[in-house]
Amino acid sequence: MHNIVLERKDSILVANFRDMCPIRLTITASQHDSVDPRSKNYPIDFFITSNEDITDLFIHEIKLNINKNIFYPTSVNNNCVLESNNGNISVKNIAVPSLKMDAITPLFTIRGNVLLGDVISSTIKIIDATFEQNIEKITLVDGYISIDICQTGGSRLAKSFDYEPSITVAQNPATDLLEVECKVIEVGNYSLEIVDILGQSTVIKK
């Protein structure tokens, strides 16, 4: 592609041809290893690079997908709009004031809760990006997130059962004692504590 620049020199109009490369952008999701599954407000960063200097870039929407059983998004920065539905994430109204050629520029950060689900890792997949400007080429680079869990004694991942985790407390009229039944989703050691209306607690089992 050529850009024609007209210059006036000594009453003569001279046409100079200058090469102008098509704009190419790359959007990249960050990579996360050995994340604590108890992490709250955990950040996942996204970046953008360009082969040319650009000002006032506007992205209407970036569509993402992250396994909802490992990461639950709660917010996004930079005055963007976050929508989430069953692992499908949409970030809208992304304004980028300026991009310098080949510089890695922060785009936005999604924060959320890391979960102990039925998988140990998930791709942070960038599905699509819609720009206000006409961009010649867009490259989307996926990221990933993996959690750090104890593997001793077998898998510690949560598994699906026919019942939900629950606790049932009932009084036995024959003995005047409470009977407690618990259903859990992971094998391990648990403690149970009952607190009365006066704030006094009783540890049932460790």
pLDDT tens for the chain, 206 residues: list them: 444 444 555 555 555 544 557 889 999 999 999 999 889 999 999 999 999 999 999 999 999 999 988 999 999 999 999 998 878 999 999 999 999 999 999 999 999 999 887 788 999 999 999 999 888 899 999 999 999 887 655 555 655 555 556 778 788 788 778 788 877 656 667 777 777 777 777 766 65
The residues near 7 (Cβ < 8 Å, ≥ 6 apart) are 13, 14, 16
Tokens found for residue 38 = 């108890």
Edge-to-edge, what's the strand order for the sheet holding 71-76?
71-76, 105-114, 42-50, 24-29, 137-141
CATH topology of domain 2-147: Immunoglobulin-like (2.60.40)
pLDDT of residue 2: 44
Q: Which two tokens stand for residue 17?
A: 């041809």
Q: In the prediction, which pLDDT does 4 show?
A: 47
pLDDT attached to residue 119: 85
SS (H, E, C) 154-171: CCCCCCCCCCCCEEEEEE
Structure tokens at 117: 């689900």
Per-residue pLDDT, 156: 58
The answer to whether the CB of 87 falls within 8 A of the CB of 66 is yes
The backbone torsions φ and ψ at residue 24, rounded to the nearest 5 degrees and listed phi first, read -125, 125
**Which DSSP category does 101 fall into?**
B
- What is the reported pLDDT for 20? 59
Enumerate the CATH 2.60.40.680 domain ranges in the chain, comma separated: 2-147
Looking at residue 5, its pLDDT comes to 47
* DSSP-derived secondary structure for 56-73: EEEEEEEEEE--TTTEEE
